[in-house]
Amino acid sequence: MTDSKTDLLEPLDILYLEDDANDAELVRVEILQEGIACNLNRVSDRVSFLRCLDRGGIDLILADYAVPGFGGSAALELVRERDQEIPFIFVSGSMGEEMAVETLKSGATDYVLKERLTRLVPAMRRALQESRIRRERETAERALRASEQRLELALRGADLGLWDWDLPRQIAVVNRRWAEMLEYSLDEIEPRIDFWKCLLHPEDSSRVLLALDAHLKGETEAFETEYRLRTRSGGWKWVLNRGRVVLRDDAGQPLRATGTHLDITGRKQAEETNLQLEAQLRQAQKMEALGTLAGGIAHDFNNILGAIIGYTELVRLELPEAGQANRDLGEVLKAANRAKLLVEQILTFSRQQAHDLRPIKLPDVVQEAMQLLRSTLPSTIDVRMEIENGTPTILGDATQVHQIIMNLAANSAHALPDNGGLIEVSVRPAEVDEEMARGHADLQPGIYAVLSVRDTGHGIEAAIQQRIFDPFFTTKAPGLGTGLGLAVVHGIVRKHRGMIRVNSDPGQGTDIQIYFPATDRPAPESPAGPGRLAAGNGKRVLFVDDEVALAKVGCLMLTRMGFEVEMQTGSLDAWEAFAAAPDRFDLVITDQTMPKLTGLELAGRMLQLRPGLPIILVTGYHASASRERVHQAGIAEMVMKPYTIDSLGKVIHQVMQDGRSRSAAS
């Protein structure tokens, strides 16, 4: 029905149920008299009534109550089945009050007695007016429902939770998504603003409340912040909250604020992972640079120490064993050996030292280290070992893994109070999944063997946890720590393609875990037995080193062992001497790093002339001379500088024995 019709500007279409033509005429006149244009369509039976009704376009229905064969009540029922709104007015001769009330209850709009027809038009006007208002309200409600639905769909599409805060009453209402984001159902959310405040992460709370306060005071345009909220199960979700005050009173006090929540946990986690990866990269680069620097210095130190240790040993052999001078030199040796250990640490850290990775069983290495630990650590410390079945074999350098354990255990021991505590070294298998691997630049998913050294010491403050792997970072007093222990561990672990995790609670203790990737290659059963010192028995050795001091020490050592030694300090000279009479020598010991011809090259030439000749290669640090390469080149063994008479002797013994068993076998 259009407004022009309800305003009676256009002719009304009226369906009129009336069997009495005279009455009908009276009604028509009454309407016309009031100046209302209309098409009055009179019917007197059910069939024609229904036909008109179903044709539609009717603005108003008038009906006599008592029509033979088809009463007004039946007509009303038919109409209301089809349309709740169309005005239906009874125009009736005699109608008791009771019946009138009854008709209104069953849906009639009004009733007018035929004796008082003057009431008819006002009743029509009112009915039309009311019906129009009802229709308008209905349309508005429909539109509102549609718009709410659109909003809900948009929120759902954008995955937004919604909140609406009534400030004076401190009531905050949220939508389902808001609740579900935090694992709640909607009815579990208490409609108080405090409920939200209590969910704020303690680290974010004051920042968020300050920002909110600033916005409420009108200092900021909007309230837009990222923070964590506690979920129902106690976890944390990152949300982006965007909102603003939408209503203020005349004094500017906020009355109502609304806004949305977006779950940004995924993005935050990715950001965090990226930050971690960047930090790891920076750390790796820093270590690399420091390693190169330290490695270079350590190399020179190594040669100097070689001379100090070598000559001291030799002088001691000349002196009476019981004398004071001998004892003093013993102290010199001790100090020099400490320096040597330090240089070894630096070289290991700088990754320059030749090493090789072969299949080893972590439990074997741990067991060996435990013996040393138990005998060196004070008895107040409870040293325990825990080895889990199924720990996989790893590709490693047993000596270096041993060093990791010693360095970590030393730190643990230092962290324990004087009255003791616990150090536990354990080994277990572990699987690294995709998610864990994503957080560590050096980590691939797969099976790992995890070595852990745990203590009940004073722990590491969060602020310095980042720095403990830095070379020369130490919290110990001068002379008590150089700060190289963990840098070395870090270097070794990198070489083993492993990963280090630090768990430390200040006051509670520290657990450092090292992940070594598993290998499929089987580990050999038992390690070789201890070597014995060689006895020269007049055999001839060619000794080559371009550093005269070291060459002299080496030769003196060999002479002590009973060898006949020929010394050469230039690799080309050495080659000429050898080539002149290749069969003259039973053994060649040569330095690797020499100008013109390296030890490896020299050895190569010699072996061409005399295949099977035992050659020992002496190396300081040289990444190119891995044990594997050396063996491939046919060289019997490799010795690290600085060596002692003892360590050199053992290697010579082993090489000569191997040589014998080789020639016996052939």
Ligand X SMILES: Nc1ncnc2c1ncn2[C@@H]1O[C@H](COP(=O)(O)OP(=O)(O)OP(=O)(O)O)[C@@H](O)[C@H]1O
Binding site for ligand X (CB under 6 A): 407, 411-412, 415, 455, 457-460, 468, 473-476, 481-487, 510
409 or 557, CB closer to Mg ion?
409
To the nearest whole angstrom, how small is the minimum distance from the Cβ of residue 148 to ligand X?
Answer: 60
- Closest CB 502 distance from ligand X, rounded Å: 8
260 binds, among ligand X, Mg ion, none (CB under 5 to 8 A by kind): none
Name which of Mg ion, ligand X, none residue 415 binds, using a CB cut-off of 5 to 8 Å depending on partner kind. Answer: ligand X
Cβ closest to Mg ion, residue 411 vs residue 568: 411
Helices 398-415 and 485-495, axial angle in degrees (round to 10): 150
Minimum CB distance to Mg ion smaller for 416 or for 558: 416
DSSP letters, 192-235, are: BHHHHHHHB-HHHHHHHHHHHHHHHTT-SS-EEEEEEEE-TTS-
State the nearest-atom distance from the C-beta of 406 to ligand X, in Å.
Answer: 10
Beta bridge partners of 289: none
Give the ranges where 458-512 is alpha helix by DSSP (H).
462-465, 485-495
Judged by CB, which is closer to ligand X: 140, or 335? 335
Q: Does 485 bind Mg ion (CB under 5 A)?
A: yes
Residues 6+ apart with CB under 8 A from 650: 530, 531, 532, 533, 534
Question: Toward Mg ion, which CB reaches closer, 92 or 407?
Answer: 407
253 contact, one of ligand X, Mg ion, none, CB 5-8 Å limit per kind: none
| Shortest reach from residue 376's CB to ligand X, in Å | 14
Task: Give me the count of residues in the chain.
Answer: 666
From the list Mg ion, ligand X, none, partner contacted by residue 316 (C-beta under 5 to 8 A by kind):
none
> Which does residue 510 bind out of Mg ion, ligand X, none, counting CB within 5 to 8 angstroms by kind?
ligand X
**Residue 475 near which of Mg ion, ligand X, none (CB within 5-8 Å, type-dependent):** ligand X
Our CB check for ligand X shows the closer of 407 and 452 to be 407
DSSP codes joined into one string, 379-410: TTEEEEEEE-TTPPPEEE-HHHHHHHHHHHHH
Element of type H or E holding 354: none
Task: Compute the least distance from the CB of residue 487 to ligand X, in Å.
Answer: 6
Run of H or E residues at 599: helix 599-609
Q: How far is the CB of 504 from ligand X (least distance, A)?
A: 7
Q: What tokens appear for 576 in the block?
A: 């000429």
Nearer to Mg ion, 241 or 411 (CB): 411
The DSSP annotation for 272-332 comes to HHHHHHHHHHHHHHHHHHHHHHHHHHHHHHHHHHHHHHHHHHHHHHHS-TTSHHHHHHHHH
Task: Tell which residue, 18, 143, 181, has the closest CA to residue 91.
Answer: 18
Among 408, 507, 397, CA closest to 451: 408
- Secondary structure class of 135 (helix, strand, coil): helix
Give the integer Cα–Cα distance in Å for 286 and 284. Answer: 5
Question: Least distance from C-beta 454 to Mg ion, angstroms?
Answer: 16
Region near Mg ion per CB under 5 A, out of 88-96, 221-229, 479-487, 625-633: 479-487
60-63: strand order across its sheet: 38-43, 12-17, 60-63, 88-92, 110-113
Q: How far is the CB of 292 from ligand X (least distance, A)?
A: 19
| Site size with Mg ion, rule: CB under 5 A | 2
CB of 482 to ligand X, least distance (A): 4
The DSSP bridge partners found for residue 228 are 238
In the complex, residue closest to ligand X by CB: 485
Question: CA angle, 173 as apex, 172 and 176 as ends, to 5°?
Answer: 140
Nearer to ligand X, 420 or 531 (CB): 420
Distance (Å, rounded) from C-alpha 652 to C-alpha 616? 8
Q: For Mg ion, which is the closer residue by CB, 485 or 498?
A: 485
Q: Which residue has the tokens 């009874």?
A: 90
Interface segment toward Mg ion; rule CB under 5 A; list 154-162, 329-337, 485-493, 555-563? 485-493
Among 303, 353, 403, 411, interactor with Mg ion by CB under 5 A: 411
Dist. CA 174–CA 162, nearest whole Å: 5
Determine the Cα–Cα distance for residues 363 and 500; give it in Å rounded to an integer: 18
Task: Please state the closest distance from residue 508 (CB atom) to ligand X, in A.
Answer: 11
230 vs 414, beta carbon nearer ligand X: 414
Closest contact distance (angstroms) between CB of 262 and Mg ion is 47
- Could you tell which of ligand X, Mg ion, none binds residue 455, using a CB distance below 5 to 8 A set by kind? ligand X
Min CB(410)–Mg ion separation in Å: 5
| CA separation for the pair 620, 347 (Å, rounded) | 9
Given the complex with Mg ion, which of 82 and 472 has the nearer CB atom? 472
Which CB sits closer to Mg ion, 177 or 340?
340
Nearest alpha carbon to residue 186 among 178, 194, 198: 178
- Contact residues toward Mg ion (CB under 5 A) are 411, 485
